[in-house]
Amino acid sequence: MTMPMSPETRAALLDGLRTCLEAVHVRTDPDSAQHYGRDWTRLYTPNPLAVVLPGSIEQVQNLVRYACEQRLALVPSGGRTGLSGAAVACQGEVVVSMERMNRILDFDPTDRSVTCQAGVITESLQNFAREQGLYYPVDFAARGSSHIGGNIATNAGGIKVVRYGLTRDWVTGLKVVTGSGELLDLNRGLIKNASGYDLRHLFIGSEGTLGIIVEATLKLTRPLCEPAVMVLGVPDLDGIMALYGAFRSALELSAFEFFSERALRHVLRKGLQRPFDTETPYYVLLEFENPEGRHTDQALELFEHAAEQGWLADGVISQSETQARELWRLREDISESIAEHQPYKNDISVRISRVPALLTEIDALLGREYPDFEVLWYGHIGDGNLHINILKPADLDTATFAHTCGAVSEQLFAALQRHGGSISAEHGVGLTKKPYLHYTRDTTEIAYLRAIKQVFDPHGILNPGKIFD
């Protein structure tokens, strides 16, 4: 709870912010507060003191130093596409938006690396890499609005993890402003560097609680060669994992996604076409390189074998790049298609081998506890990441809905703990998962996390209240 602030104190703090950067980039209007003060959760009412948009590392350092003097809470802000409340400013904090720091600074074709500011949009970086004949493989539906700095702060995953890994695997250098206003230049783009602790990895996934990421060096790779996409209709959960094992053993998969019929119906209402006539409870979308159609026959043989085993009921393989993009939309457009229903989201993970048992247990739990709510499943099942979305009934207020879902989350996370999983696979902890952190991290580990926070943010000004209190 924020303490009441007198008009005089507020005015003095705002005047101080205007000495850190140009006054035009200190915003206090209601529209800016709404726009910059929240993320995609929509569960919290934005209430920032101000929104500031620095244009340089020096200005970020000035802001942090001023915040230290005044004990002013700062919320680092990227594209605000997160789903955990980590970028929410609802307690009178100052939002530090990185959107003006959006330049690509350097490209090295020998190293296949690019250095950019934190506010570069993910899709812009992907397009830049493509222009160089290369590929940045961290990819997800929010690519058009998410920022590289935010991706790093949450260790973003997405749809290609099964082949390319997480954001962490592509960061070779970071510049970070700590909670004391110091600038750290970490790893400097090196592939090998065995000179002590690699602090870079502490900031990746730290959700802005240890420092403000201002610049990053990222490695690139070659692009996929003529990727083909298959969508398969699956009658039951066991079939999904059987298909994963069969196709992974024969083809190098770049994606293996799944979604439910209920999720598909929401996408179809937005104008997309059903991939084939047969309706099944679940669907798998997989992608693999297919230069000159060399792997088509092998994929079709796998399809026929899977059909004989009863693992699938129908399917389709893309015949063109356009069709591949349309098939991908069946999976990628789910979040947007259900946004109007204010879904309560759980983003969980478990070892791939334990996915079937966890899915079965949780599916029964949700069916029992949410008889009147629509529950949608989808996710990156090829890396053990499942997304559960409970849609809010139109006649139920948001607070009651969130409380009801949260009560069942305790049971869900207890089941997840029994299977050795994580309460957050890729969306972070933020505010929404904070009460449940103990299901993934034990008391000793959390104590070490707090100690690390104290080292890098001794005054507690960086995103306070996120991850833990």
Phi, psi angles (nearest 5°) of residue 20: -85, -25
CATH class of the domain defined by 104-219: alpha beta
User: Among the CATH numbers 3.90.1150.10, 3.30.43.10, 3.40.50.1820, 3.30.300.90, which is that of 7-99?
Assistant: 3.30.43.10
Longest Cα–Cα distance of the chain, Å, equals 76
Check pLDDT > 70 for residue 3.
no
On whether the CB atoms of residues 298 and 316 are closer than 8 A, the answer is no
Does residue 1 register a pLDDT over 50?
no
Q: Is residue 259 within 8 Å of 283, Cβ to Cβ?
A: yes
The mean per-residue pLDDT over the stretch 20-29 comes to: 97
For 260, residues 6+ apart whose C-beta sits below 8 A from its C-beta are 281, 282, 283, 376, 377, 378
Confidence category of residue 361, pLDDT binned at 50, 70, 90: very high
Pick the closest to residue 199 from 461, 427, 444, 456 (CA basis): 456
The amino acid present at 299, given as its one-letter code, is A
The one-letter code for the residue type at 69 is E
307-336 pLDDT, tens digit each: 999 999 999 999 999 999 999 999 999 988
User: Which CATH number, 3.30.450.20, 3.30.70.2190, 3.40.50.970, 3.40.718.10, labels domain 227-335?
Assistant: 3.30.70.2190
**pLDDT for 359:** 85
Shortest CA distance to 317 belongs to which of 271, 377, 251, 261?
251
Cβ atoms of residues 167 and 147 within 8 Å: no
At residue 372, the pLDDT reads 87
Q: Is the dihedral of CA 19, 22, 24, 25 positive or negative?
A: negative
**For the chain, which residues make up each domain, given as ranges?**
7-99, 104-219, 227-335, 342-427
Residue 311 in contact with residue 212, Cβ under 8 Å?
no
User: What is the token pair recorded at 406?
Assistant: 């949260």
The CATH architecture one would assign to domain 342-427 is 2-Layer Sandwich (3.30)
What's the sign of the alpha-carbon dihedral 113, 114, 118, 119?
Answer: negative
The token pair at 363 is 């599916």
Is there a contact between 302 and 223 (Cβ–Cβ < 8 Å)? no
